[in-house]
A and B are shown apart, each in its own frame.
Chain A
Amino acid sequence: MATRQTRTLARFMMAPSVILLFIWMIVPLAMTLWFSFQNYNLLNPGNVSFAGLFNYKFFLTDPAFLQSIWNTLAIVIGVLVITVVGGVALAMLLDQPMFGQGIVRILVISPFFVMPPVAALVWKNMIMHPGYGVLADISKSVGLKPIDWFAHYPLISIVIIVAWQWLPFATLILLTALQSLDEEQKEAAEMDGANFANRFWYLTLPHLARAITVVILIQTIFLLGVYAEILVTTNGGPGYATTNLAFLIYRTALLGYDVGGASAGGVIAVILANIVAIFLMRAVGKNLDK
């Protein structure tokens, strides 16, 4: 549709978004890249000099670096597994006939609307606290010693909190996808003698494939940058046990005042994110074209 004139106009109207996003992407990135080759500490701002690859060497050889990569992956993969598997199960449950489905939906989706610092603080203090948390109360009532979650299983605790925030999102998307599965298809499969497991494997799961891809894509975007949950619960500790890449860079930058080092970390984070992104965009772009 449309004539040359409308097409030209269309290009103009697209320009503000594209230009703004381009600036937003390129300017800070270029600055990060520049700083990453400088010796630049905010405590000593007058003394800036070219550092070559020193910052990268410094950041990459930091023992905390490998740990933070591992932690980042653990959070992303842990949460994805929990939310996708749990989401499929929960969506299938919610897809069944029941009383009060609307309210159930509202209850299930609620955690998604809770801001990360609140979610983390509530879990840390009200649920997982070894002295006064609900889990401790339950342990005590059955005569067990309460678990000190953040001392003994810090990373798992973070994964649980983040998974709690994202499980509703996955569930809701998968439920919506599930509801678009043709009822007659299910009945036809039943007539063809497929049992529950067969129907799930050959009918339901392929039908959900697209929704699962979308869930993975969107959650990954957000999970790579988990920050507030760590900040308000463990502050990256104990030691570096819960420091992910985002948190490590934050520590280097704003706690160590080391602009150069943090920028090198930033560049590395961007590169890693791009590797993940290219991978994901390929998969999803293909999927979204349909």
Chain B
Amino acid sequence: MGNIVLKKVSKSFGATTIIPEIDLEIEDGEFVVFVGPSGCGKSTLLRLIAGLEDTSAGSINIDGRDVTSEQPAKRKLAMVFQSYALYPHMTVRNNIAFPLKMAGEDKAVIERKVGDAARVLNLTNYLERRPGQLSGGQRQRVAIGRAIVRQPSAFLFDEPLSNLDAALRGTMRLEISELHHQLKTTMIYVTHDQVEAMTMADKIVVLNAGNIEQVGSPLELYRSPKNLFVAGFIGSPKMNLMDGATAAKYGASTIGIRPEHINISTTAGDWKGTVGVAEHLGADTFLHVHTDVGTINVRTGGEFVVSHGDTVFLSPDLAKLHRFGPDGSAL
């Protein structure tokens, strides 16, 4: 089980408020991602759930039990840290066994559980090594191994992939998702990378300055962002945002259109512009087009061949145009 409920949770350090007041419910078995720019309070929120920080007010319930003032060890949660936080003086075997030893399990049980975890994570051949002798990806897996042996009611991940290179990040993303499908345990994952959020999450919690901007599935957030912040944060390349007279024409104070929702033509369209930088990725081409309404990013097929200085015409797909009111919320 791993049902986590936060009620009116807030956190401040002295006079600085990190998290004003948050209500959040996480279902058992869900993969929830906290995403937001750095300093938005997502790590603090995770640490509050972990019990590594005290809440300033409000309560945290895990499986219906109030754990607000409980020690981290008693919350039955496991955490994977950004730096992996492996014990450098212990072998991989002892690293993974450590939580079991602390729980006073007997030797045979520990042996079996560590063996199982190592098999799942492909670490069997590395059990006698020390963390210093492992690659980044292997260390990451040891950290995960240490977390899964305890059979926690939920896993907490604090930006676990940010120390890996891009290729490995992709692989580990898959491995973690795969693990979630196998274990079906609640996972809470903190990241500043919206790609990780979109690809892994069942439910994304977008945070900004300690506030929850929107909660929803990846596609919900993509299709109907509640406000300008979410619209700008989710999706890559970023949504084009325009205000002033351009937006007024559509009855909004700001309009947004994703680069992939713009039709491009060399002959006719709503906005005329000249091509600036063209990034040819093969399958896709990203164009930065300078128009009278500003620079607009367009995503088009790889076969669409234009070059710097060419004149093009852009037309937004009106069904997928986002309109925002003066307070930034969607109309």
Contact = CB atoms under 8 A, between A and B. Distances in A.
Interface of A: 1-5
Interface string B44-56: 0000000111100
Top-10 shortest CB links A-B = A3-B54, A4-B54, A3-B53, A5-B71, A3-B51, A3-B52, A1-B52, A2-B52, A2-B53, A1-B53
Contacts of B52: 1-3
Nearest to A4: B54
Contacts of A4: 54
Interface in B33-79: 51-54, 71
A276 to B, nearest CB: 36
Interface of B: 51-54, 71
A3 B47 CA distance: 10
Contacts of A2: 52-53
B59 to A, nearest CB: 15
Nearest to B54: A3
Nearest to B48: A3
Nearest to A5: B71
Given A3-B53, A3-B71, 9 more contacts: A1-B52, A1-B53, A2-B52, A2-B53, A3-B51, A3-B52, A3-B54, A4-B54, A5-B71
Contacts of A1: 52-53
B19 to A, nearest CB: 16
A1 B51 CA distance: 11
Contacts of B54: 3-4
11 contacts: A1-B52, A1-B53, A2-B52, A2-B53, A3-B51, A3-B52, A3-B53, A3-B54, A3-B71, A4-B54, A5-B71
Contacts of A5: 71
User: In this complex, which of A2, A3, A5 has the most chain B Cβ atoms within 10 angstroms of its Cβ?
Assistant: A3
A47 to B, nearest CB: 60
A2 to B, nearest CB: 7
A2 B51 CA distance: 9
A5 B52 CA distance: 10
Contacts of B71: 3, 5
Contacts of B53: 1-3
A1 to B, nearest CB: 7
Nearest to B51: A3
Contacts of A3: 51-54, 71
B63 to A, nearest CB: 21
A12 to B, nearest CB: 16
